[in-house]
Chains A and B, each alone.
Chain A
Amino acid sequence: MKPLLSAWVVVALFAFNTTSCLAAATLTQKIDPPEVNVGDQAIVTITVQNGSVDNLNLPQVDGLDVVGTQSATNITFSNGSLSRAMSINFAVAPSRAGTFTIPAFDIHTQEGDVLHVKAMKLHVVDNGASASTNTAPAQTVPAPAPSSSPSANTPFNSNGPVVMPPANANGAGNSSDTTTGNTINVPVESDGRPAKVFMVITPDTTDAYVGQAITLRITWYIRQDVDYQQDSLPTIKGSDFLMNDLSYRPHEDEQAIMNEVYRCESWVTSISAPKSGDFPLLMERDSYWIKSIVNNNNLDPFFGGFFNRRPNLAHESISSNQLTIHVHALPTEGRPVNFTGAIGHLKVTGTAEPTSVDVGDPVTLHFSVSGEGNFNYVRCPTLASDPAWKTYVPTFKIDYLGDESHTQAVKTFDQSVIPLKNGNVPLPTASFSYFDPATKQYVTVPIALPEITVTGTPIPLASTAPGSGTNSTTASTTPTAEFLPNRLEIGSPQLSLTPVYRQPWFWAIQGGLVFLTLLGAIFLFLRSRSTPDNDRAARVSRQRSLQQEEDAMAEAVRRDDAVAFFIAARHAVQLELGTQWNLRPEAITLAEIRDRDPHLAEVLEPFFAQADEVIYSGHASSGLDLAQWEHRVRTELLQPQPA
């Protein structure tokens, strides 16, 4: 009975889990805050419950840049049901005041569901900060506190790092370990041993500005005697910070803490805060590990052994130490008009090539911004408006240097400009602005660009000197500055420009012919099925008769019987030609052959004359060579006739 019961339990659990997994995907969305100042950011959060989404992007909105994304997946198993929530945070930064609408769009989940994201509005107010020029003196900004180690903050949150079982950790305290030379506050369990699993986060500073990239080290400790499995990455709790994606392959090493050996996984990333204020920074990670092996002496000989010996998987969300990050708003006074939110220690260079062009030909400007900072906010240096130049939208490429925090990089921009007049034309003045957190000042870097020698004449809007005719291919690639003259004929006017293929009859004719062809093919198929045996039988019969006549010819030659030979030979020729012309053998006469193929008639005429003479006379003349006639009949007369 017991095995049967166990089997039913398996089936029931499987059915239950399957039902849970088939729950329909749902979506929630929000934009926070719904109103921001120019230069500040808002977070658009899209959460998909019970669904997976790949490569989700917000629709492009002019004047609203997506400066960062962060995704996190949370899987919970409660009351027997498994639920999965995937949250994607987009940090959006408006470049001007006004009301921006992120249009509605659809999300296609990997499970095949289509979720509709409604349109969202973001009101951006102008705080009047952008009125100052880029030459404004450096302003003193609220001084960030000196960088502090995590231990200077609250060492750990009151509930964590959580270790299994949570009850064991409640009475546990924290202990400082100096084995490694670094001060690490290690949570301890009730038995006095350090926690099985815990996580430590270490930012390079706890004071920063809105949008500033803060390098963050995340270290995950697992006591060596803990057997575990892990299928998630650490995530930031809440939406106060944005974090770069973590690598799935962390740096691994071993460390001794409080005389226990720990395996360590560590990541280096960067975070940024989209709004000012004091925000708690706390990370968490889903964890599974084996707590123990259940020993049950009452083992069932079949199912009991399997179920009772399975490891007891424990699942808990492990939290890190909690820190408070003080995020300061960027100073509004002295903010350059072309400031795009770049913060860091940056260096900018610019070149242009070629330095000699014709009017209308492009000059490519190469800008390079390098150093340490938040490269998501680094935009192409701005060009001053210049009527002598037409500018195009730049393209960019970014090469990250250093660690995975992506705070050190070289971002290069290529921008095409076209001269509209000739002479030695200076390029528009270019500049790049950023905020330096070390000096607490905005910095505007002028970029020196060379003067361009422009040859040729500006293109007139309406040429009055039409040129002569020209070759099409050459003209299309390198047009001259002159329009070709008018045609002096009307041509073949047509009342409508609608192409013929839009007319139903165009397709009806072709469709009809395709149908007719298919019909013919079907007819041919059916006909060939209905009369195959008759044709084949007739063919076989004729072939057999032909073979008999050839045998008779050979026999007649052997017996030197000229009459029998010519009777057989003539009948063989009639059979062969009758097959070719689809006539009865008896209908093949010299007259019929002459009518159908005069050339063949000329070849056959001596044969028929000789055959008639021998058959009607009943004997052959003395000089008749039957062997030669047989050879001739076989090689010339019984071979398929050429077309």
Chain B
Amino acid sequence: MNFFLHPLRCLIFSLFLFPFLLHADGSDSDLDAANRAYTSGNYDESAKLFQQIIDTRGFSAPLCFDLANAEVKAGHTGAALLNYERARYLAPTDGDIDHNLQLARKQARLDPNSYRWWQIALLSINWMVWLVIMAACLLLIFLAIIGTSYAPAISSATKIPLRLLKNIFRTILFAGIPLSLLMGYVELSTVGFNDRIQGVIVAPKEATLRLSPFDSSDSIGTIPEGELVTVEDRHNDYLRIEARDHHFGWIAQKDIEPVIAGSFDVKPSD
């Protein structure tokens, strides 16, 4: 382990790692191939390659955005809007993503669904940041409580005047408790806003909305391809959805893809 403690050795080791880091970060042959296919107008091939990258490496906002661009130009409205929604989910403050998403929705004759400013403000904070903020607030409160109990001993040990020490702890408590409550409320509100299970209609042209979750059930309307809907419940291969115009009905699961992959596997009521 002492090998890594020497700064010069660390630098030499990093230089060896540099090409690998570069490879992982940007100049990727798969990505290049997908982009080449895109610029040459071979959108189906480009979409296929972007999808392969996502399947092997995972989701990221740029990858979903690029895949959506390829899909929209290949004429696959549902898949395009699905991946724009995924990209927006991963980077809610990215204006380029919202621009292309709204443009694709307009082409699909769908109403715009841009986030409002407060939604962007809420979603712009990473969940780990929320965790750190809440943990820091709670930890400070805890330390202030303990410090208040042992203020005389701490004062003796640190030679900080007792009165000053007590004032510090009191300030932390009086500021920290309301701040923690406020942060907790905002965090839970963000969870509430974010916790809807949403899906995008990927059935060609439109999906049939049914009265009940059976193939033989009467149709009560259709939802156009690309529309974002909220999933309320599940019964076998049917999902009960609420459309943006507040109509409810059942849609075959094959006609809809979740924005958060795998979220249909968990029953919403669970």
Report A's interface with B, CB cutoff 8 A.
60-62, 98-101, 103, 360, 390, 418, 459, 461-464, 466, 469-477, 479-501, 506, 509-510, 513-514, 516-517, 520-521, 523-524, 527, 579-583, 595-596, 640-641, 643
A488 near B35 (CB under 8 angstroms)? yes
Measured between beta carbons, the chain B residues less than 8 angstroms from A459 are 106-107
3 nearest CB pairs, A to B: A472-B95, A491-B60, A475-B99
Distance A248 CA – B60 CA, assembled complex (angstroms): 64
A475 near B26 (CB under 8 angstroms)? no
Measured between beta carbons, the chain A residues less than 8 angstroms from B95 are 470-476
A643 near B161 (CB under 8 angstroms)? yes
B114 near A476 (CB under 8 angstroms)? yes
A517 near B145 (CB under 8 angstroms)? yes
Which residues of B in the span 79-122 have a Cβ within 8 Å of any Cβ on A? Answer: 86, 89-90, 93-96, 98-100, 102-104, 106-107, 109, 112, 114-115
Distance A485 CA – B149 CA, assembled complex (angstroms): 60
Name the distance in Å between B68's Cβ and chain A's nearest Cβ: 9
Q: B167-197: contact bitstring with A at CB < 8 Å (1 yes, 0 no)?
A: 1000000000000000000000001001100
Which of B9-17, B135-143, B199-207, B232-240 has 4 or more CB atoms under 8 Å from chain A? B135-143
**8 A-B contact pairs sorted by A residue (CB < 8 Å):** A101-B211, A459-B107, A509-B131, A517-B141, A520-B141, A581-B156, A640-B163, A643-B164
Measured between beta carbons, the chain B residues less than 8 angstroms from A640 are 163
Residue from the list A101, A496, A596 in contact with B262, Cβ < 8 A: A496
Name the distance in Å between B170's Cβ and chain A's nearest Cβ: 12
Measured between beta carbons, the chain A residues less than 8 angstroms from B131 are 500, 506, 509-510
Query: B218 — nearest CB in chain A belongs to which residue?
Result: A101
Query: B209 — nearest CB in chain A belongs to which residue?
Result: A62
Distance A379 CA – B166 CA, assembled complex (angstroms): 75
With contact pairs A99-B218, A497-B86, A497-B261 given, residues A483 and B69 touching in the complex (Cβ less than 8 Å):
yes
Measured between beta carbons, the chain B residues less than 8 angstroms from A581 are 155-156, 159, 161-162
Name the distance in Å between A264's Cβ and chain B's nearest Cβ: 47
B146 near A520 (CB under 8 angstroms)? yes
B142 near A470 (CB under 8 angstroms)? no
B100 near A483 (CB under 8 angstroms)? yes
Query: B109 — nearest CB in chain A belongs to which residue?
Result: A390
Measured between beta carbons, the chain A residues less than 8 angstroms from B74 are 462
Distance A101 CA – B212 CA, assembled complex (angstroms): 10
B72 beta carbon closer than 8 Å to chain A: yes
Query: A104 — nearest CB in chain B belongs to which residue?
Result: B212
Report B's interface with A, CB cutoff 8 A.
25-26, 28, 31, 35, 38, 41, 43, 53-54, 57-63, 65-66, 69, 72-75, 86, 89-90, 93-96, 98-100, 102-104, 106-107, 109, 112, 114-115, 127-128, 130-131, 134-135, 138-139, 141-142, 145-146, 148-149, 152-153, 155-156, 159, 161-164, 167, 191, 194-195, 211-212, 218-221, 259-263
A479 near B106 (CB under 8 angstroms)? yes
Measured between beta carbons, the chain A residues less than 8 angstroms from B146 are 520, 523-524
Query: B50 — nearest CB in chain A belongs to which residue?
Result: A486
11 other A-B residue contacts (CB within 8 Å) besides A459-B107, A596-B159: A61-B220, A461-B75, A462-B75, A479-B99, A479-B103, A488-B26, A490-B60, A491-B61, A501-B130, A523-B146, A595-B159
Residue from the list B86, B152, B221, B259 in contact with A62, Cβ < 8 A: B221
Residue from the list B75, B93, B96 in contact with A484, Cβ < 8 A: B96
Measured between beta carbons, the chain B residues less than 8 angstroms from A497 are 59, 86, 89-90, 259-262
Distance A623 CA – B86 CA, assembled complex (angstroms): 89
Query: B258 — nearest CB in chain A belongs to which residue?
Result: A497
Which applies to chain B's interface (DSSP): helix, strand, loop or mixed?
helix
Measured between beta carbons, the chain B residues less than 8 angstroms from A461 are 75, 107
B149 near A523 (CB under 8 angstroms)? yes
Measured between beta carbons, the chain A residues less than 8 angstroms from B103 are 479-483
Name the distance in Å between A27's Cβ and chain B's nearest Cβ: 21
Distance A201 CA – B148 CA, assembled complex (angstroms): 85
Distance A369 CA – B69 CA, assembled complex (angstroms): 47
Distance A155 CA – B35 CA, assembled complex (angstroms): 89
B26 near A62 (CB under 8 angstroms)? no
Distance A521 CA – B145 CA, assembled complex (angstroms): 6
Residue from the list B58, B66, B114 in contact with A493, Cβ < 8 A: B58
A641 near B57 (CB under 8 angstroms)? no
A517 near B138 (CB under 8 angstroms)? yes
Measured between beta carbons, the chain B residues less than 8 angstroms from A517 are 138, 141-142, 145
A499 near B145 (CB under 8 angstroms)? no
B135 near A498 (CB under 8 angstroms)? no
Measured between beta carbons, the chain A residues less than 8 angstroms from B98 are 472, 475-476
Measured between beta carbons, the chain B residues less than 8 angstroms from A101 are 211, 218
Residue from the list A103, A462, A493 in contact with B57, Cβ < 8 A: A493
Name the distance in Å between A54's Cβ and chain B's nearest Cβ: 21
Distance A485 CA – B194 CA, assembled complex (angstroms): 28
B53 near A506 (CB under 8 angstroms)? no
Query: B190 — nearest CB in chain A belongs to which residue?
Result: A501
Residue from the list A471, A472, A487 in contact with B66, Cβ < 8 A: A487
With contact pairs A486-B65, A490-B60 given, residues A464 and B102 touching in the complex (Cβ less than 8 Å):
no
Distance A473 CA – B117 CA, assembled complex (angstroms): 9
Distance A495 CA – B55 CA, assembled complex (angstroms): 8
Residue from the list B31, B60, B195 in contact with A488, Cβ < 8 A: B31
Residue from the list A462, A498, A521 in contact with B263, Cβ < 8 A: A498
A486 near B73 (CB under 8 angstroms)? no
Name the distance in Å between B145's Cβ and chain A's nearest Cβ: 4
B25 near A486 (CB under 8 angstroms)? no
Distance A536 CA – B21 CA, assembled complex (angstroms): 64
Measured between beta carbons, the chain B residues less than 8 angstroms from A579 are 162
Distance A583 CA – B159 CA, assembled complex (angstroms): 11
A472 near B93 (CB under 8 angstroms)? yes
Name the distance in Å between B184's Cβ and chain A's nearest Cβ: 8
B127 near A499 (CB under 8 angstroms)? yes
Name the distance in Å between B252's Cβ and chain A's nearest Cβ: 17
Distance A480 CA – B72 CA, assembled complex (angstroms): 15
Residue from the list A470, A492, A499 in contact with B260, Cβ < 8 A: A499
